[in-house]
C-alpha cells in the first residue's frame, strides 16, 4: 500500500526568499520586455498620456523592474494588461498618438505572451509576480541593445547624474566617493570608467562590449552596488 504523501513544510524565511525571488524575476521580465521593444522607462507613460489611458508611473515601473516594489495593488496588473491588449490590437495601438517619435517606438513593439503563445492578462501578470507562473523563456534575458552614439551619450549622462545624486544624498566627499566607486570596478576597467565619470563618454562600441548576460551594462552594476553601500540600502 502506497504511503500517503506528506505536505512539504516551508519555513517562514523560505517563503519570504521565494517571494523576493519571484518579484525579482518579474521585474527582470518587465525590463527585458521593455528593452526588446526599444522603450525607455518613460515610453508607456507618454503613450498613456497621449492616448488617454492609465498606466504605471515611470517611478513605480523602475521600482518594480528592480524587484523592490513589495505588494502591488490589483490596479497595476490591470494596467499591464491594458498595455498588452493595445499592443496586440493593430487598430488601437496608435489611436490618439500624436508624437511621431512615440509612433516609431510603438510601431514594431510586441505584446508579452506566454510560452504557449497566450496573450497575458492581469491574472497572468499577477500569477507571475507571486511565483505561480514562470517567466516566459523569451523574457528571461534580453539581447544587447543596438546603440547609436547619441544613446551612448545619454546613458553616460544618466549614470553621471545618478552618481551626483548619490553623493549628495549620502553626504559624501566628491573625490572620495568617486574613488570608492571606481575601485568597485575590475582593474582593467577602472581607468576608462574614471574618465567616463569625469566627462568622456563611452562610445557605442565600448558599451556593446560592456553588456552582461543579456541583462544590463557593467557600469550600471558597478554604480548600483556602490549606491547600495553608500546609502545603506
pLDDT tens digits, one per residue of 15-58: 677 788 999 999 999 988 988 888 888 899 999 999 999 999 87
> What mean pLDDT is predicted for residues 89-107?
89
pLDDT of residue 187: 94
**Does 77 score more than 90 pLDDT?**
yes
- How many other C-beta atoms can be found within 10 angstroms of the C-beta atom of residue 106? 22
> What mean pLDDT is predicted for residues 204-214?
83
> What mean pLDDT is predicted for residues 140-162?
86
pLDDT category, 9, cuts 50, 70, 90?
low
C-alpha cell, 65? 523592474
C-alpha cell, 153? 551619450
pLDDT of residue 2: 53
**Does 114 score more than 70 pLDDT?**
yes
**Does 208 score more than 90 pLDDT?**
no
Question: Could you give the percent of the chain with pLDDT greater than 70?
Answer: 91
In whole angstroms, give the CA distance from residue 138 to residue 142.
Answer: 8
**Does 115 score more than 70 pLDDT?**
yes
Residue with the bigger pLDDT between 20 and 189: it is 189
pLDDT category, 97, cuts 50, 70, 90?
very high
Provide the mean pLDDT of the chain. Answer: 88
C-alpha cell, 1? 500500500
pLDDT of residue 14: 75
pLDDT category, 126, cuts 50, 70, 90?
very high
Q: Where are the alpha helices (DSSP H) in 114-186?
A: 122-129, 149-170, 174-183
Name which of 26, 31, 112 is nearest 69 in CA terms: 26
pLDDT of residue 35: 81
The least confident of 12-26, 42-56, 98-112, 187-201 is 12-26
Q: Which residues touch 100 (CB under 8 Å, ≥6 apart)?
A: none
- Cβ(128)–Cβ(17) below 8 Å: no
**Does 8 score more than 80 pLDDT?**
no
- Cβ(73)–Cβ(114) below 8 Å: no
User: Which DSSP symbol is given to 117?
Assistant: -
Q: Which residues touch 92 (CB under 8 Å, ≥6 apart)?
A: 86
Amino acid at each position: 500500500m502506497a504511503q500517503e504523501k506528506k505536505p512539504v513544510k516551508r519555513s517562514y524565511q523560505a517563503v519570504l526568499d521565494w517571494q523576493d525571488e519571484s518579484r525579482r524575476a518579474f521585474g527582470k521580465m518587465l525590463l527585458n520586455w521593455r528593452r526588446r521593444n526599444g522603450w525607455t522607462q518613460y515610453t508607456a507613460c507618454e503613450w498613456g498620456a497621449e492616448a488617454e489611458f492609465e498606466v504605471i508611473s515611470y517611478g513605480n515601473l523602475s521600482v518594480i523592474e528592480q524587484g523592490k516594489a513589495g505588494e502591488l495593488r490589483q490596479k497595476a496588473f490591470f494596467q499591464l494588461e491594458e498595455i498588452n491588449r493595445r499592443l496586440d490590437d493593430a487598430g488601437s495601438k496608435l489611436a490618439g498618438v500624436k508624437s511621431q517619435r512615440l509612433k516609431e517606438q510603438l510601431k514594431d513593439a510586441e505584446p508579452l505572451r506566454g510560452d504557449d503563445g497566450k496573450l497575458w492578462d492581469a491574472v497572468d501578470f499577477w500569477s507571475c509576480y507571486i511565483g505561480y507562473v514562470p517567466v516566459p523563456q523569451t523574457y528571461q534575458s534580453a539581447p544587447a541593445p543596438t546603440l547609436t552614439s547619441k544613446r551612448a551619450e545619454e546613458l553616460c549622462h544618466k549614470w553621471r547624474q545618478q552618481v551626483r545624486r548619490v553623493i549628495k544624498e549620502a553626504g559624501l566627499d566628491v573625490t572620495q566617493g568617486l574613488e570608492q566607486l571606481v575601485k568597485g570596478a575590475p582593474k582593467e576597467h577602472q581607468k576608462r570608467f574614471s574618465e567616463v565619470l569625469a566627462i568622456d563618454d563611452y562610445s557605442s562600441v565600448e558599451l556593446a562590449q560592456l553588456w552582461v548576460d543579456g541583462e544590463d551594462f557593467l557600469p550600471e552594476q558597478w554604480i548600483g552596488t556602490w549606491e547600495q553601500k553608500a546609502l545603506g540600502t
